[in-house]
Amino acid sequence: MVLTSVEKMVGLQKKTSGIRNICILAHVDHGKTTLADCLISSNGIISSRLAGKLRYLDSREDEQIRGITMKSSAISLHFVKGDQEYLINLIDSPGHVDFSSEVSTAVRLCDGCIIVVDAVEGVCPQTQAVLRQAWLENIRPVLVINKIDRLIVELKLTPQEAYLHLKNILEQVNAITGALFTSKVLEERAEKETESESISDIAPGDQIYDWSAGLEDTDDSHLYFSPDHGNVVFASAIDGWGFGIEHFAKLYSQKIGIKAAVLLKTLWGDYYLNTKAKKIMKGDQSKGKKPLFVQLVLDNIWSLYEAVMKRDKEKIEKIVTSLGLKIGARESRHADPKVHLNAICSQWLPISDAVLSMVCNKLPSPLDITAERVEKLMCVGARTFDSLPPETQELKSAFMKCSSEGTAPVIVFVSKMFAVDAKALPHNKPRPLTQEEIAHRRELAKQRHAEKLAANQGKELSEKPPGENSSEVTGSAGDTKGEEQQLTGQVEIMTSKAMKQEANNKESFIAFARVFSGVVQRGQKIFVLGPKYDPAESLHKLSSQCSATDDLPLVPHMTCCTLENLYLLMGRELEDLEEVPAGNVLGIGGLQDFVLKSATLSTSPACPPFTPLNFEATPIVRVAVEPKHPSDMPQLVKGMKLLNQADPCVQVLIQETGEHVLVTAGEVHLQRCLDDLKERFAKVQISVSAPIIPFRETITRPPKVDMVNEEIGKQQKVAVIHQTKEDQNKIPEGIQVDSDGLVTISTPNKQATLSVRAMPLPEEVTRLLEENSDLIRTMEQLNTSLNEDKKTHEINQKTLDRIKEFKQKLEQNLQGRKWRNAVDQIWSFGPRKCGPNILLYNFESYKKSVWQCLGNAVKEVSKYRDFENSIVSGFQLATLSGPMCEEPLMGVCFTVEKWEMNKVGEMLSISSQDPGECGATEHKQSEDTTLTSGFTDGVYSVNEHQDSSQSVPKSPEKISKHKEDVLLADCYGPFSGQLIATMKEACRYALQAKPQRLMAAMYTCEIMATAEVLGRVYAVLSKREGRVLQEEMKEGTDVFIIKAVLPVAESFGFADEIRKRTSGLASPQLVFSHWEIISSDPFWVPTTEEEYLHFGEKADSENQARKYMNAYLRLSLLDFSNSNPLRWHVFPSSLTCPAPVW
């Protein structure tokens, strides 16, 4: 096919009904990029012979070496079907789980997707993940079952067996879709039932819920994949062929004489052809007949493969002649039969026609965007569409129309920023010279040649004996001037070349974006809306009709920028554009300083920011990075900033120690980021630490049996008395720990005393807190606005219902005597006020709850009010870094049993609460000073304050004077700071009074392996502390699917080791799953006679938790081995390690 010009593409961009924005999604190595090559070759961009070998959209060197896609790439294709012309914006996405964030960026910009499934491997973990992502983004999928040639060549299945295998794959894919649909319907049904409950007054016993009613009433036939619906293509991308059953329906309707519509319905399914009656009948299996699909389709393909592979020339010629094909002599004589096969199949059943026809027929254009998707995109967080301002709601019609009129507001979403070499930009590329430029250059060459000849003649004259002295002087002066000019000219040329080279070596950032409304033009000024931008607040300051060119006041999370360049994305190439109408995917230059990873662009300030992208992978692998030469540190910092911008998933942190840390999604992702940092962004040599594995710290109930499974308390103890005495000596003075683990501690100035107890939370509660972290964050925001007396009309009923449901679930899971009224006494969650730990209060004369947003707000004047934030802050700090490895806590409940303040502390709180003329304004101004004040015993006595409290009420002047006297800081620092530190210490000691455990991050691991290497896979898993959950054989193959869990700490080099041990026959997929408690106690030492006999006096056998803890501490320069003088038992508590100096 002839290469389509840019002008033609620009013309097609204006016909919105003919645009299809699609992405290719699949598991790794299922053939996405090969399929993309076949589609690209149909436009003449690459040769059809190179399709599948070139991997055109894998433009990175490491992608070509590894053979996997690592980033999303887009290309625009032209497709003609009958009289209709289509512009297909195709995005190829990665299949490896480490790069699933790239899938999220691609899916957001598309209206449909092609799901590719390997015919041999079937549905794999990433297939399920991409189907779920497509469902969450409300985009319509079509299915391509690829690599059918493997069923013939590798598995050697018969056509009948292959048909059953394909049928099974379709059922698996439809089962996933059905599960997603069912969960959605049941959610909607539950919401309707809760609404009707609140409206109706019927007794609960009178209502009977029939959950299946919602499923029966809803039509879901359009969601499922079926060849007779036209949304399934069977293909072999490497051999260049693919078909939908409509192709064979048209072909056989002429030969058999049966209507194409009838064949379309019966070619797939339980039908067979009765040759005598020339009728299609049902029940092929019961009557032992071949299904129609096998008889008319698969038998022909199998016979073609058999003929070509066996080099049966007569049969091949017969097939080629009957199909009316022309095969070149080069292909037919080629030594590789696959070349001959590709030449026949690509002409008979071209895959590009089959796939692109299905895309154009079954996937929607930008005009067909659903109202549900628009509302979902416009509503951030817990907000509903109805709660948005009226001006914002009006923009919904602009989304739906996808209008390219001049009056339509421009709305663009940037899903990611990607880096390209400055040389690859269109204006930096060498272009062919015009005739005028060639003529001009010829004239310049002639002039230079003439000047050179003149200079040579001048040299010859100067060599002759001089006639006069004056002429000699002038001649030499002229030569020196000429030399100076020549030198300055050379310097200028060298500096200009160096500047050009430096500019070419720079990385330019281009925004990967889609226009949802309006026309984007080069040089246009536009608003950049950050993820926290709120149109409701900005519309009070701005008019909805204002534009980015006006002089506007500062609005939070909104800036203005100019769109410098617009690009048509053509895979490895970029083409300049002047304007881009609605519905198109494009690249935008000049946003590097305004957009970090993703953003919403609009000409209307009423436009809300789009919903954040859904990332399947969690960044969990951390490494510290430093330059080999300290002088290169500024370049490394700059390079890490660029890397952070270029990758949607990577996180760049600077720790308190000053270390620069990279957080990535997995081992392959980490390697790619480090390569980019060294070769593209920082361009310096770097040193990388061993991976820093994240852990969590928790506590458990005291065990009932010891390490040799003897019941605790009944064995003969050895040296236990000595050990307990040693433990007691390690508790600092002033801290009391009772037998139940209640820790009592006072502030350094003895003005307040706290009693704190730690308890493990049930697993169900910890899981519930993790799943609802976003909801807890929303609750915190609502409570803050209530405390600050802000308007709360934005709290919608749906959010309140979710909070009530969350509270009910907590009450259901926190049952029993020790959890009585616990849910109502929740003071805070932590860390960061939304984590999986709980702070409770259990002392009198105090009422504060996280459930204020449900109408449970209690505003009372108490002596604790001004210092409650200090207690919460101490809890947040304690949960953010535990005593074992300075890692966050998980699944721990802290209860404040007692909080006593003596008279000095009470006087401070009463004085700050005293209403008066200076009350409201002065309180706000002096709150910080009040909370940062302390007292000395030598300045005021308690009796003085008791006397003063019994005296006549003071005037405002006396109050202010009293405050000046009282707010004198003591030698221990501010009182609020003392409370924070005391609460943190109390939580730590309460934690150490219970059995502590480490929690390891766990991967779920899915491995596909044949029977002969199964034992080797198990050996590698057991060596790395893995645990097999399930093993099943894939139907119709000799492949086993092993599902296991593996600690993240043991995962480095796991994939390589599996491949080496199995000679490449097994390859694992690792996805972060959950946190799991390591059962072994990191501080365990033998205490009984049986334990001494079993483990020895040193007990130096392998302890997994201690191994991880020592490795972490070694990384933090705190080695706790016996040879190190900083041994852990030297420090104040036997169960703690020293906090880092920093």
Provide the 8-state DSSP code for 648: S
List the single range of 184-188, 619-623, 754-758, 897-901 with lowest mean pLDDT: 184-188
Q: What percentage of residues in the chain have a pLDDT greater than 70?
A: 78
User: What is the pLDDT, as a whole number, of residue 197?
Assistant: 57
Q: State mean pLDDT over 355-380.
A: 91
β partners of residue 78? 87
Rounded Cα distance between 1079 and 1000, Å, is: 10
Q: Phi first, then psi: what are they for 561, rounded to 5°? A: -145, 165
Q: What is residue 724's predicted lDDT score, i.e. its pLDDT?
A: 45
Q: Strands 686-688, 695-699: parallel, antiparallel or unpaired by DSSP?
A: unpaired
Least confident of 68-77, 199-208, 673-682, 735-744: 199-208
Sign of CA dihedral 591, 595, 599, 601: negative
pLDDT band at 235 (very low <50, low <70, confident <90, very high): very high
Q: Are strands 1067-1077 and 1027-1033 parallel, antiparallel or unpaired?
A: unpaired
How far CA 278 is from CA of 252, 268, 270, 759, 1082, in Å, comes to 12, 18, 17, 77, 78
DSSP letters, 5-58, are PHHHHHHHHT-GGGEEEEEEEESTTSSHHHHHHHHHHTTTSS-GGGTTTS-TT-
Secondary structure in 3-state letters for 941-991: CHHHHHHHHHCCCCCHHHHHHHHHHHCCCECCECHHHHHHHHHHHHHHHHH
Strand ranges in 700-739 using DSSP code E only, listed in sequence order: 735-737
Give the model's pLDDT for residue 389.
82
The SS3 assignment for 116 reads strand
Contacts of residue 7, defined as CB under 8 A and 6 or more positions apart, other chains included, come to: none
Q: Band of the pLDDT at 942, cuts 50, 70, 90? A: very low
Give 243-274 pLDDT, tens digit per residue.
Answer: 999 999 988 888 887 888 888 888 898 888 87
DSSP strand pairing (507-517 vs 585-589): antiparallel
pLDDT in tens, 14-40: 999 999 999 999 998 899 999 999 999
How many Cβ atoms from other residues are within 10 Å of residue 956's Cβ?
13
Phi-psi region of 218 (alpha: psi -120 to 50; beta: other; left: phi over 0): beta
pLDDT at 758: 93
Please tell me the predicted confidence (pLDDT) of residue 1112. Answer: 74
Q: Which of 670, 598, 586 is nearest to 62 (CA)?
A: 670
Find the range with the poorest average confidence among 731-740, 903-912, 1105-1114: 903-912
User: Percent of the chain having pLDDT more than 90?
Assistant: 35
- When mean pLDDT is compared across 193-197, 382-386, 1002-1006, 1090-1094, the lowest value belongs to 193-197
Phi and psi (nearest 5°) for 691?
A: -55, 135
Pick 471 or 190 by higher pLDDT.
190
In which region does residue 1124 sit, left (phi positive, over 0), alpha (psi from -120 to 50) or beta (all else)? beta
pLDDT digits (tens, 9 = 90+) for 568-597: 999 888 999 999 999 999 999 989 999 999
If 0-12 CB within 10 Å is exposed, 13-18 middle and 19+ buried, where does residue 1032 land?
A: exposed
pLDDT greater than 70 at residue 370:
yes
Reply yes or no on whether the pLDDT at 547 is more than 90.
no
Local structure of 567: helix, strand or coil: strand
Q: Name the token pair of 807.
A: 């509270």
Average pLDDT of the segment spanning 205-212? 46
Quickly count: other Cβ atoms within 10 Å of residue 1111's Cβ: 16
User: In angstroms, rounded to a whole number, what is the distance separating the alpha carbons of residues 2 and 12?
Assistant: 16
**Residue 373: other Cβ atoms inside 10 A:** 14
Cα 1053 from Cα 228, distance rounded (Å): 46
Q: How much is the pLDDT for 417? A: 93
Q: Please report the pLDDT score of residue 48 as a whole number.
A: 84
d(CA 785, CA 858): 14
Question: pLDDT, tens digit, for every residue of 614-627?
Answer: 888 788 888 999 99
- pLDDT category, 212, cuts 50, 70, 90? low
- Of 217, 160, 167, 213, nearest to 190 by C-alpha is 213
Contacts with 493 (C-beta within 8 Å, 6 or more apart), sequence order = none
CA–CA gap between residue 1070 and residue 1005 (Å, rounded): 5
Q: What is the total residue count of the chain?
A: 1142
The amino acid present at 405, given as its one-letter code, is E
Burial of 49 per CB tally in 10 Å (0-12, 13-18, 19+) = middle
- pLDDT of 481 strictly over 60: no
Cα distances from 383 to residues 326, 375, 420, in angstroms, run: 62, 10, 37
CA 307 to chain centre: 48
Query: Cβ contacts of residue 857 below 8 Å, gap of 6+?
Result: 786
Residue type, 712: I
In contact, 606 and 675? CB cutoff 8 Å: no
Name 413's bridge partners: 514, 600
Residue 1134, pLDDT score: 33
Mean pLDDT over residues 733-747, rounded? 86
**Mean local confidence (pLDDT), 371-394:** 82
Least confident of 181-190, 600-609, 635-644, 809-818: 181-190
DSSP letters of 421-437? EGGGSGGGS--PPPHHH
Gyration radius (Cα) of the chain, Å: 37
- Average the pLDDT over each of 773-787, 913-927, 1125-1139 and give the range with the smallest value: 1125-1139
Spatial distance between the Cα atoms of 1044 and 1004, rounded to a whole number of angstroms: 6
pLDDT at residue 1045 greater than cutoff 90:
yes
Q: What is the mean pLDDT of residues 637-650?
A: 93
pLDDT confidence bin for 366, thresholds 50/70/90: very high
Q: Are 959 and 914 in contact (CB under 8 A)?
A: yes
CA 190 from centroid of its chain's CA atoms: 29
Confidence of residue 49 (pLDDT cuts 50, 70, 90): confident
- The secondary structure of 749-772 as a DSSP string is TSSEEEEEEEEEPPHHHHHHHHHT
Q: How far is CA 665 from the centre of its chain?
A: 8
Are 1049 and 694 in contact by the 8 Å Cβ rule? The answer is no
| pTM listed for this prediction | 0.80
- pLDDT at res. 379: 84
* Distance of alpha carbon 1018 from alpha carbon 1014, whole angstroms: 6
Q: Two tokens at 191?
A: 């919401």
Which pair of structure tokens corresponds to residue 1021? 């898993």
Q: Please give the angle made by the CA atoms of 540, 545 and 548, to the nearest 5 degrees.
A: 90
3-state secondary structure of 206: helix
What pLDDT is stored for residue 669 in this prediction?
A: 92
Where does residue 156 fall: left (phi above 0), alpha (psi -120 to 50 degrees), or beta otherwise? left
Q: Is the pLDDT of residue 485 over 60?
A: no
Indicate if the pLDDT at residue 540 is higher than 80.
no
Q: What is the pLDDT of residue 226?
A: 92
Contact 928, 974 (CB under 8 A): no
Residue 149 CB-density burial (10 A; 0-12 exposed, 13-18 middle, 19+ buried)? buried
Show the DSSP H helices in 232-312 as ranges.
245-256, 260-266, 292-293, 299-309
Q: Is the peptide bond before 227 cis (omega within 30 degrees of 0)?
A: no
- Which of 177-186, 197-206, 272-281 has the weakest average pLDDT? 197-206
> Can you tell me the mean pLDDT for 1083-1111?
71
- In tens, the pLDDT along 95-131 reads 888 898 999 999 999 999 999 999 998 898 889 999 9
Mean pLDDT score of the chain: 80
Give dist(CA 337, CA 320) in Å, integer: 15
C-alpha 1131 chain-centroid distance: 41
pLDDT at 487 over 50: no
Nearest CA to 228 among 292, 288, 286?
A: 292
**What confidence score (pLDDT) does residue 1119 get?**
37
CB 675 within 8 A of CB 685: no
Between CA 935 and CA 750 the distance in angstroms is: 10
Tell me which of 964 and 248 has the higher pLDDT.
Answer: 248
More reliable by pLDDT, 882 or 706: 882
The predicted structure's pLDDT at residue 241: 94
| Range with lowest mean pLDDT among 16-30, 407-421, 477-491, 1016-1030 | 477-491
Would the pLDDT of 206 be above 60? no
User: Would the pLDDT of 428 be above 90?
Assistant: no
Q: Return the closest-CA partner of residue 241 out of 292, 295, 305.
A: 305
Positive or negative, the CA dihedral 625, 629, 633, 636 is negative
Q: CB of 1039 within 8 A of CB of 1088?
A: no
Q: What's the pLDDT band for 6 if we cut at 50, 70, 90?
A: confident
